[in-house]
Amino acid sequence: MDAKHKHAKTADKAATVILYIIAGFFLVLLAAFTVYVLYRGAVSFSPEYLSFTRQGIGVQFFNTVYLVFLSLIICVPIGIAAGIYMAEYAGSGRLTRFLRMCIETLASLPSIVVGLFGYLVFLVMTGLHWNMLAGALAVSILNLPSLTTVTEDAFGDVPDLYRDGSLGLGATHWQTITKVLLPVALPRIITGIIMAAGRGFGEAAALLFTSGMSSDVDFSNWNPMSINSPLSVMRPADTLAVRIWALKTEGVAANADKLSDISAAVLILMVFVFSLASRHIGARLENRLTGGKGGK
Per residue in 213-257, pLDDT (tens digit) is 888 888 888 998 888 899 999 999 999 999 888 888 876 667 888
Write the CB contacts of 259 (distance below 8 Å, at least 6 apart in sequence): 44, 49, 57, 243, 247, 253
Q: What are the φ/ψ torsions at residue 261 (nearest 5 degrees)?
A: -65, -45
* 66-106 pLDDT per residue, tens: 999 999 999 999 999 999 999 989 878 888 888 889 898 88
Q: Give domain 50-295's CATH architecture.
A: Orthogonal Bundle (1.10)
* 112-162 pLDDT per residue, tens: 999 999 999 999 999 999 999 999 999 999 999 999 999 999 999 888 898
* 8-18 pLDDT per residue, tens: 788 888 889 99
How deeply is 63 buried, as exposed, middle or buried, from its count of CB atoms within 10 A (0-12, 13-18, 19+)? buried
Which residues in 126-161 are b (16+ Cβ under 10 Å) and which e? eeeebbbbbbbbbbbbbbbbbbbbbbbbbbeebeee
Confidence of residue 294 (pLDDT cuts 50, 70, 90): very low
Q: Where are the domains of the chain?
A: 1-44, 50-295
Residue 285 has pLDDT above 80, yes or no: no
